[in-house]
Structure 1
Amino acid sequence: MHARNNWGGSFEMSTSEEVCGYEGNNRDTEWDRAALLGRQDHLDETLQSWVLERSEKSKKTKYVDFGCIVCSHKALKWIFGSIFLAFCVIGLPIIITKSLPKHHPPPTLPDNYTLAIHKALLFFNAQRSGRLPKNNGIAWRGNSGLNDGNDSDVKGGLVGGYYDAGDNTKYNFPMAFSITMLSWSLLEYKQKYVAVNEYAHTRELIKWGTDYLLLTFNNSATKINKIYAQIDYILGKNPMKMSYVVGFGNKFPRHVHHRGASIPNDHKHHSCTGGWNWRDTPNPNPNTITGAMVGGPNSFDQFHDSRKNYNFTKPTLAGNAGLVAALISLTSTTGSGIDRNTIFSAIPPLGPQNPPPPPPWKPIKT
């Protein structure tokens, strides 16, 4: 059995040599300073290793792991700094601008033209024929012309449209011209119509006229032959057997009522009264004004080729413009029909469009 240890500690016994050795070393270092030099070098190396270890740790770059990306602390600081700077430069002024009270300029008073256009458009309301809407705005104008066209074969008659003037007559050509003028002004100045609050009103006026004009259109013919007959008449198929377009065909007017074409090109100055001599001469014009359509015959298909009678031989700019439009519409050199890529191509069709035809069948290449 072991003896009882009343003082604690280990039961192992140190040898006298170990004790003496430890005490001897302490005694040597206490009395011999040279013995401390070895231990001092060892302590210096230990301290130096600690300092180097700390500097190496401080030089290591620290990173932040976001899961999908790893970013260094320095780059993260730059990112947040840039965001803050952008907010101060861009975001903060926007917030301040939005929060400031807005001062709207006072609305401009309508000028005299704006006041006048409201009055001018009311005239069309007063000229309406047919069963008027409740918002027509003219108290003294009631329904009228409700029996127009009852004797015709038009379903529903010819009720509607506009009276031309102070009478109770509806003329299609003046009405079509008026509706065209309104339509063009609405296309060109839509924003102004909207600004003066007359856009919807003007559209209603245009529709009132076009609805009536569509009733007067007879589309029973499969082919429009009348325009061909009129143009052929002008070009020579008439009782006089002559063309009323100068320079077209073998027989055409030679005494055209035209100052420039009737005075010879002799490089001499001719006064206004001197030009009468050329007007009254029975000789044909010295200059041919090619392409001019003259006034044409009277209602009895009679024509007098005389400069003095300008009703027969006078050409006009408006007449030739209509002739050109009719000729280009009838020509079949480049195909028939109206070009699709025109100013009217953007107008939606009145009815549903037919689906396009299927593409031609092609065999599948294997």
Structure 2
Amino acid sequence: MALSLSLTTILLSLFSFFLLHTHANPFRSIHHHNHPHFATHNYRDALTKSILFFQGQRSGKLPSNQRISWRRDSGLSDGSALHVDLVGGYYDAGDNVKFGFPMAFTTTMLSWSVIEFGGLMKSELPNAKKAVRWATDYLLKATAHPNIIYVQVGDAKKDHACWERPEDMDTPRSVFKVDANAPGSEVAAETAAALAAASLVFRKSDPTYAKILVRRAIRVFQFADKHRRSYSNALKPFVCPFYCSYSGYQDGLLWGAAWLHKATKNPMYLKYIQTNGQILGAAEFDNTFGWDNKHVGARILLSKEFLVQNVKSLHDYKGHSDNFVCSLIPGAGSSSAQYTPGGLLFKMSDSNMQYVTSTTFLLVTYAKYLTKSHSVVNCGGTTVTPKRLRTLAKRQVDYLLGDNPLKMSYMVGYGPRYPQRIHHRGSSLPSMAVHPGKIQCSAGFGVMNSKSPNPNILMGAVVGGPDQHDRFPDQRSDYEQSEPATYVNAPLVGTLAYLAHSFGQL
């Protein structure tokens, strides 16, 4: 009996080992999950770099403590075409245009990262707050006039016809806005969400600034709600196909209201959510979360009110959030997510990593809410615990940092092997220090099309990532896979802070 029992134990152990280490299982985990002070990755180093990346995306007059030193001042006359000051903010990706829609989402997600996990960030917290403030200082300028939001600086088509450093920009810095005659509810609501979320970041450290942010958020949201229309209508030739709003503006209004409810505690916003939730698509089974579609983010954010604050009227948002979680769990009845053979969540070929980082943030955040309320998720007959959500999130981040078939980190500057030819003008062209003379518009394409590695390391940049078969060509011209973006990094900041803390690295 004792012999057969031990044989059974050995067979079960072998079977478990097989399950944990086959590529078919996206949940295969590292054998030391149960040893929280030993991790395969230096999450703290990745956290530092993920925040540092934002300095490489800065537009405007750079401060004396700028740490990504190959960048210089740029876009110093932005806004002058319409006699407004629009200097500052971030370039969204590898080009030199400032797109307000993804910039606002980046700001909201950086802020949410700090709100949920800033207490764990230790010495990185001031850097994370600086990254938020670089964006909010700009968004305050963009919303300085009532009922007007400046939503873009730069003509994207003309910008994309050049390959030049931000410091050399000579393409038109055209300014685009939404107003009462040409509204843009989604971009206005996202801007309101960003300002409201950021007000919570600065509430204790800079209460005066926080009040300015929340007052502006209220005003901008009123404009978004009163003048309901998509900005893709009025500004189609300029914002499409780059940052067209495909999901409509309804999700943006729900998201904006959720953040204003959180920032102001004014019952008016709770009433707005209760009254308009269904009309604004609260129950839609759409499980994509990113710069365009905010449905899932709003669900998770509002589920906290029910789970932790016990706001009974928001009970449905727990169910909606559970549906999202169940869609990600292989084997669960309503599972719809696709994973690569190596275990990476795969949504689409163009910048797939943005969905990986946004989803992992939602997983660790929802796990936090569930833990606080002693709750679990029921997926048909499967009970999903907060620990399982964290395990899935960790597995995705570990893949991103190098636990993948190519053994490549998709964060520039992290680990021994990472992308060398990212689709990013400033990183790919010689810096001002090396080549002070102007590099003309089309002269840069010689570099863009070359096989040489980028001379300037854009530390912490997370690229679009591998394809559905875990392949990554590392080609500069391949913007779908090789281009970094602010909205890829922003949610990752929170997840990395959580992981660094839970493994005793902070």
- Coarse TM-score class (shorter-chain normalised): 0.3 to 0.5
Q: Which has the higher contact order (CA 8 A, sep 6+)?
A: 2
Q: Is the helix fraction higher in 1 or 2?
A: 2
TM normalised by structure 1 equals 0.40
Flag the structure with larger Rg.
1
